[in-house]
Chains A and B, each alone.
Chain A
Amino acid sequence: MGKFDARDLGTPDAGQGVQVRLTIDGVDVCVTEGTSVMRAAKLAGINVPKLCATDSLKSFGSCRLCLVEVEGRNGTPASCTTPVSNGMKVHTQTPLLQSLRRNVMELYISDHPLDCLTCSANGDCELQDMAGAVGLREVRYGYEGENHLVQAKDESNPYFTFDPAKCIVCSRCVRACEDIQGTFALTIEGRGFGSRVSAGMSESFLESECVSCGACVQACPTATLNEKSVIESGVPEHSVVTTCAYCGVGCSFRAEMKGEELVRMVPHKDGKANHGHSCVKGRFAWGYATHRDRVLEPMIRSRTDEPWRVVSWEEAIAHTASEFKRIQAKYGRLAVGGITSSRCTNEETFLVQKLVRAGFGNNNVDTCARVCHSPTGYGLKTAFGTSAGTQDFDSVEHADVIMIVGANPTDGHPVFASRMKQRLRDGAKLIVLDPRRIDLVKMPHVQADFHLPLKPGTNVAVLAALAHVIVTEGLVDRNFVRSRCESEAFDAWAEFVSQPQNSPEEVAKVSGVDAAAIRAAARLYATGGNAAIYYGLGVTEHSQGTTAVMAIANLAMATGNIGRAGVGVSPLRGQNNVQGSCDMGSFPHEYSGYRHVSDEATRSMFETLWHASLDREPGLRIPNMLDAALEGRFMGIYIQGEDILQSDPNTRHVAAAFAAMECVVVHDLFLTETANYAHVFLPGSTFLEKNGTFTNAERRIQPVRKVMSPRNGHEDWQVTQMLSNALGYPMNYSHPREIMREIAALTPTFAGVSYEKLDAQGSIQWPCNEAAPMGTPVMHSDGFVRGKGRFMITEYVPTDERTGPRFPLLLTTGRVLSQYNVGIQTRRTPNLVWHEEDLLEIHPHDAEQRGIKDGDWVKLASREGETSLRATVTDRVAPGVVYTTFHRPETHTNVVTTEYSDWATNCPEYKVTAVQVAPSNGPSAWQSEYAEMARLHSRVEAEPAE
């Protein structure tokens, strides 16, 4: 058990090419041209000793342990940097080589502490292994010479330590930081014997630019960079491959365990989404699973101002069922509903919507995708026929032009961002459409060719202007359009975008983006080779979110950038399983696989298998549920794993709606803000405590494996099943694989998915069925799922949320690297050191006008409400735009946001709120009132004395 993979081939795969034959230690080997001798040897089962080489990094040739002899050549070349050639005869073990290796190792050990038995890497140390492999028996130099043995340890990072005394200066950490992560936070300072690894300019790791992705820790062959959890607990004894429960990248990890104790999460090299890389959240921020705030026993109360009463599972389930029955009896069948969670597994999500449709007897089910990527589902389905991105992540390696629209990958999707940065460093061009200067606009060795800093809310106008240039300058891929798209729709669209109001010069007036830059960016996108669009919530969370998604699809179709590697339209999805929760039928109008509830054939199939009669009318969306609650028509809700109160816009409206309900059931890990309004609390289980699957942003279904017993006693699907049974709708699953079987049976795009195949293949990208038994990495390669691609007219309609004298600034919101959404998990980890509070970014000009200095408390007010937070003055935002995050409940960012939403899907317009900012002397009245209410509403009754 250890970080190090005995299968490590030393140097990266040379890819496709001519085969070369050689012999190594008398063994005939045939490998691709460009392969290193080291890798060729390993493939032939011959281990050449190595320290600075690992197959995740380009060869470096510094340790000099891997020297070999080649017949007919002078000297002893390093096998890691020597490429194979035809007829080469290599010897990896000769008396000279053995002596050289022992002597090199002797030098290493002459400057290394001799504390192997008490070292945290004991048994997990390549230096130790190599000392054994080369047969080092003595260090003739003695230990009195110059050395680094008393250098101080850097323990500043919350998750790992840096012990320079144990460093062998192999540069693997530096190279990992550069080549894999692309942060360039580490370097070797000094030279010769004084060469030392340094974070930043001799800073501590915490103070440096290090983003704690863990790549350096992963790369370190000794205890120099070591997880604090390993130092504390020792080397793990077994591991289980599972999938990260943070963002939509879906990194595969090995959970390394000691019994049921998680010691560390190690990025899995075979993970097809992450290829062995990780970010600070997935790699390190899993401590929330054992945080003391976890609620482990069910609780109920009759009024939300009463303290919670701990009860048995039986009582909690029975109470909930009786309340839902009572409400339906009193207010009607439609008066209850459920919310599925994009953080839970596909199987759990599927069960919640099944409970609502078959158990509650209505379609009042919705999911948090409502507030993030619902426009993606609608927009891409309309254009292409499938509610999902078109590419796999690997596709980016073939992109020549990358266009990022309304996304901040280095913070939101860091592991994919690292892949993107690799491609950009290798020469791909970059276009960024974002009001804010995201890191990718300019960072080490990456610089956007065009940054179009558009005014929030003008995506559709700018996207139409890009299309205008492509059409009017004759840059359309006529062949693609003719053969692959509906011609009438294209003609109408081309006519529309050619209109003068869509010209860059006109659009410049509303968007504030330089017309020449729009023209140049459009030309680059259309003519720069393979062009790929990646977009995020900056596209969808608008009143014209769906329109913008369609506009993006139009651009890709018009330029023929669909249907092969390196191109496409890829939404960067926020949560680990937001793709899956949508696929599983979480929307009120759709069954799994995006089939409308009014479709007779589909419904009857479900009715037959479920033994239930199903409602043919779509149910309520979340905002409708809230409105209906205030109107007295919606009185009970079962919410699995979502904090609606902190997440959804216009918090005061949400709070009032919950207050109006009679039974709010929160099924979660912690007492969330929503739980302040709940009557029943059902403890949830973490991703470490259950089996199931998550589906990432590239439609990749990946296994989630239980590595410890649920601390709360039940996996979430079991709780839903208990509730269903108590309500009188029987469910009898004994394992999530049975639920997946049902999903496959009912969902054509999942027909070929099974746990057996997942175990064998590691992951599957849907559609997976008879036509594509192994799954589908890139979609629409031969034709669109809907047949012909459909161009949609995307007329720019300004949002009703306007700035004016009272609210002259535009607020837009986003996330930071260390935190995840409303922070329920990440706030309960040491990630807090990087984000102590939400800050308001304001341009120096706007700040000066208002007398605001960096760090001042400011009042942020909109037509909906106001809150206070501290300001940071920065030109990352343009004048007239302010920006903040929504990770902390104290901030209540969503008190300010409005209920304006996407015309097609009701996705809230989080990204545009007219606000005013003024100096303030502390939290607002609402914040103080809320804090008091929250204190009152989260009390738990003291245990009765025995």
Chain B
Amino acid sequence: MTRVFASADSSAVAVGIDSVLTRLIDVARAQSGTLEIVRTGSRGLHWLEPLVEIERDGKRIAYGPLSLADVDARLLTGSDHPKVIGPLDEHVWFRKQKRLTFARCGLTDPLSLEQYRSLAGWTGLARARLIGREATIDAIMRSGLRGRGGAGFPAGIKWKTVAEAKGDRKYVVCNADEGDSGTFADRMMMEGDPFALIEGLIVAGFAIGASKGFVYARSEYPHCNATFRKALGIAKNAGLIGGDFDIELRIGAGSYVCGEETALLESLEGKRGQVRAKPPFPAHEGLFGAPTLVNNVLTLATVPWLLANGWEGYAALGFGKSRGTMPIQLSGNVRCGGLFEVPFGLTLREIVHEFGGGTVAGRPVKAVQCGGPLGAYFPEALLDTPYDYEAFASKDGLIGHGGVVVFDDTVDMAVQARFAMEFCAVESCGKCTPCRIGSVRGAEIIDRIVAGRGKPADERLLRDLCETLKFGSLCALGGFVPYPVLSALNHFPDDFSDSVVRRKAG
């Protein structure tokens, strides 16, 4: 009997892991061998998928990326194989990481309660119950954990505010509406270690005095939602939820702006996903008017580790006011795309080159967009910026939800700027004027410019519009779209002046 570990994560399934395993079973049968296949979460090494780990002498030897042709008897016999990677823990990508939030992800069957428990599951919850509500909130506060959804607001302060808010009922809402292009950490967590999120939710419910938690997930993640729903069922059957505290999974209807917390709450209430003006903040008046803690998946899933291992260990990591680790999601035109968790403070250059290995094409990196479609484009000159909320902000950039998308020198930044405006126009809820009308006008102006029909004052107009969007928008969708637009315009002015010429030449 040979044990084989392979990811059941969408990222592996999408590139054919299931056929690889079917072939592997056939190979084993031919040799009259038997396999035990353990479907795990993802290790985050997306560029190595389809990836299998075969247990031999107590070690998990990884092979990947495997095409069907690569699947042969050598995998089982241990003979030399061109796709052998070796034990992943020893892989450079792993050695450089500090996996706290994703510590378990990829190691075990995500739906095995037994394995979850064996890897320190539920110890954070037990600790919270032992030290009590106030000390739990205090630990979150001292850890320096900041909201991982994008805003980076100190989680402990939010917890404390909700805990102290007056209300007959309170809610915990997990924002799993991971809509930023180039991000997938929430999905990986819900597919790869769902009980960590469930544990985080139970701790939060306990700490703030909520009896109900909602997880608001995306309709675009059917595979992930199916896994998480199973996990909820298992937890319920085991009596872990459903008593004092229950969790319900709700699926959105395909709106990016529903990842904005107030629009998310509207949607959860069964209304049109439209942003609410703040104040009142959800901590005071959230879901159905009750005090509500809205936290991102990663924030909540980090909580069990914090409590189990102590806030000191978390706070000791990081850079400046950005404490602890960040699961960075690297994608785009990059050789080694995937998720890796590191303490804050690496430079963008280290992220793109040391983890990412440069561009796929081998061409020079021209721009790196951080923080999703509304994040700024960093030019080569700014790649030494440390990965830190404040350092990024000082360069008009965002950490956001941890997405890093790499572009080589063939990218036309005017097109990217237009894309930002178009994205905003498509995803705008339509409530506030700057976003509803401004995003459309923004795309039109850039079209005019790149088509060579621009008026002399158009750049001024585009900048005015960006200022109007930044200061005038009701939420971060309109408020942040100037980041990609202005960073493109400021760092890559040539793309706006001679686009038409280049396009004709190209």
Binding site for B on A (CB under 8 A): 59-64, 67, 75-76, 78, 80-83, 96, 99-100, 103-104, 107-108, 110-111, 140-141, 145-146, 168-169, 171, 187-188, 190-195
Contact = CB atoms under 8 A, between A and B. Distances in A.
Contacts of A59: 277
Interface string B426-449: 111111111111111100110000
Interface string B445-483: 100000000000100010011011001111000000000
B272 interface: yes
B279 interface: yes
B465 to A, nearest CB: 7
A83 B425 CA distance: 30
Nearest to A196: B430
Main secondary structure of the interface of B (DSSP, over half): helix
B71 to A, nearest CB: 46
B441 A110 contact: yes
A85 to B, nearest CB: 10
B278 interface: yes
Given A141-B444, A187-B272, A192-B425, A108 B434 contact: no
Given A107-B437, A108-B433, A195-B436, A62 B425 contact: no
A83 B430 contact: no
A169 B436 contact: yes
A319 to B, nearest CB: 67
Contacts of B474: 61-62, 64, 78
Closest 4 A-B residue pairs measured CB to CB? A195-B430, A61-B277, A192-B428, A81-B277
A943 to B, nearest CB: 62
B292 interface: no
A109 to B, nearest CB: 10
B255 interface: yes
B471 A96 contact: yes
Contacts of A195: 429-431, 436
B440 to A, nearest CB: 5
Contact of B473 (A60, A64, A187): A64
Contacts of A140: 457, 461
A35 to B, nearest CB: 13
A76 B472 contact: yes
Interface in B240-296: 255, 257, 272-274, 277-279
A82 B433 contact: no
A137 to B, nearest CB: 14
Contact of B277 (A60, A104, A107, A187): A60
Nearest to B274: A188
A76 B434 CA distance: 13
10 contacts: A64-B472, A83-B279, A104-B468, A107-B433, A111-B437, A191-B257, A192-B429, A193-B430, A193-B437, A194-B430
A784 B257 CA distance: 59
Contacts of A190: 430
A171 B426 CA distance: 20
Interface string B414-434: 000000000001111111111
Nearest to A193: B440
A96 B429 CA distance: 26
Contact of A103 (B439, B445, B464): B464
Contacts of B272: 187-188
B288 to A, nearest CB: 12
B436 A192 contact: yes
Contacts of A187: 272
Contacts of A61: 277, 432, 474
Interface string B105-124: 00000000000000000000
B430 A145 contact: no
Given A83-B279, A145-B440, A103 B430 contact: no
A110 B430 contact: no
A454 to B, nearest CB: 34
Contact of B445 (A67, A83, A141): A141
A64 B467 CA distance: 13
Nearest to A61: B277
B472 A100 contact: yes
A113 to B, nearest CB: 15
B278 A104 contact: no
Given A188-B272, A190-B430, A192-B439, 20 more contacts: A62-B474, A67-B472, A76-B472, A78-B277, A96-B471, A107-B434, A108-B437, A140-B457, A141-B444, A141-B461, A146-B440, A146-B444, A191-B429, A192-B427, A193-B439, A193-B440, A194-B430, A195-B429, A195-B431, A195-B436
B468 A107 contact: yes
A81 B279 contact: yes
Contacts of A63: 432-433
Residue among A78, A83, A104, A171 facing the most chain B CB atoms (10 A cut-off): A104
A944 to B, nearest CB: 68
Contacts of B444: 141, 145-146
Question: Quick one: which of B274, B428, B431, B440 has the most chain A CB within 10 A?
Answer: B431
A169 B430 CA distance: 8
A80 B464 CA distance: 24
A64 B434 contact: yes
Contacts of B255: 191
A586 B280 CA distance: 55
Given A78-B277, A192-B425, A62 B431 contact: yes
A110 B433 CA distance: 11
B398 to A, nearest CB: 16
Nearest to A75: B471
A666 to B, nearest CB: 54
Nearest to A64: B472
Interface in B277-324: 277-279
A479 to B, nearest CB: 29
A193 B436 contact: yes
A748 B465 CA distance: 69
Contacts of A146: 440, 444
Nearest to A194: B430
A67 B471 contact: yes
Contacts of B277: 59-62, 78, 80-81
A529 B363 CA distance: 75
Contacts of B468: 100, 103-104, 107
Nearest to B472: A64
B437 A81 contact: no
Given A192-B429, A193-B430, A103 B473 contact: no
Contact of A107 (B274, B425, B426, B438): B438
Contacts of B274: 188
Contacts of B464: 99, 103
B373 to A, nearest CB: 15
Q: Which of A64, A75, A80, A169 has most B Cβ within 10 Å?
A: A64
Contacts of A110: 437, 441
A855 B357 CA distance: 76
Contacts of A78: 277, 474
Contacts of B434: 64, 104, 107
A485 to B, nearest CB: 36
A134 B124 CA distance: 56
A177 to B, nearest CB: 14
A108 B468 CA distance: 13
A62 B433 contact: yes
A141 B272 CA distance: 30
Contacts of B438: 107
Contacts of B436: 169, 192-193, 195
B471 A100 contact: yes
Contacts of A96: 471
B283 to A, nearest CB: 15
A64 B437 CA distance: 12
Centre residue among B272, B277, B429, B444 by max chain A CB count within 10 A:
B277
Which of B425, B432, B439, B467 has the most chain A CB atoms inside 10 A of its CB? B432
Contacts of A141: 441, 444-445, 461
Contacts of B471: 67, 75-76, 96, 100
B278 A100 contact: no
Contacts of B433: 62-64, 104, 107-108, 168
